Amino acid sequence: MNESDLLKQIQEYEFAITDLSLYLDTHPNDEKALFLYRRYCIEAKDLKDKYQKMYGPLTINCPCNKWKWRDEPWPWEGGTN
Amino acid sequence: MVRRYNYYRDNSSQCNCNSNIENNNLMETTGNMMNSMNIISNCNQNNDYINCDECGFESGYSTFPENPIYGQSYVPIQQMNQTYKPQIGLQNGTIFPELVSQYRPGQSMAENQYIATANRNTNRNIQNSNIQSNIQTSNIQTNNISNDNRNSENNINN
């Protein structure tokens, strides 16, 4: 899986988490939604770890051995970070 | 009064959740494995959502109360059933099939016109029935007047 595919997958999972969180705001006891929410959080975290190991930090909060942050494409260069 | 929700129901005759719901490739299935993973479900244990079918709305179920008050908003309670997989969800703007609604340019204008026309027709029918009942009432009144006149004539004669 290349970088953009992985990034897209992360976006998809993060969107699903946000959408589920809106539902859970009004249905806090819905076990099925909670189950999916927890599962997607784990999936998203795994994907983000994988991405950051391979391609560099997604946010400034991710610790890296090397300072890669400024080497990523800037927003005006099409970067999303 | 014509209700907005019914307008959409009449025109599209189904909500979008039914269109793709058969395609299992799009649907998240892991939620159905909950019981096998020893997570006890508490949803649908009460009768809060007794009017809901698979898309959250029973057919013919009105989202409006019987006597809606002007200036109040009404939001039907959503009940989650199936959800899209994350990649399909992002494409649709929601992971809930029942919330997918396609935007059509000018749709609110067309909707307002439909409601206005339908309400005008309803009002016309009501007015027509009112006019007829008024005519009947005035006939009765005329009869009474002529009776009175006759009585007064009788009085004079006596």
- What band does B59 get if pLDDT is binned at 50, 70 and 90? low
Q: Which residues of B touch A25 (CB under 8 A)?
A: none
CA distance B77 to B56: 8
Half-sphere exposure of A17 (CA within 13 A, CB side): 14
| Closest-CA residue of chain B to A8 | B87
CA distance B126 to A56: 71
Between the alpha carbon of residue B45 and those of residues A13, B42, B76, the distances in Å are 29, 6, 19
CA distance B115 to B112: 5
pLDDT of residue B1: 47
- Supply the ipTM of this predicted assembly: 0.81
The closest CB to that of A35, out of B34, B77, B78, belongs to: B34
- What band does A59 get if pLDDT is binned at 50, 70 and 90? confident
pTM, full prediction: 0.54
Q: Is A21 on the interface with B (CB under 8 A)?
A: no
One-letter identity of residue B27: M
**DSSP 8-state secondary structure symbol assigned to residue B31:** G
**pLDDT digits 0-9 by tens, A24-49:** 999 999 999 999 999 999 999 999 99
CA distance B127 to B32: 56
CA distance B147 to B158: 16
CA distance A60 to A68: 10
The closest CB to that of A31, out of B28, B41, B86, belongs to: B41
CA distance B77 to A27: 10
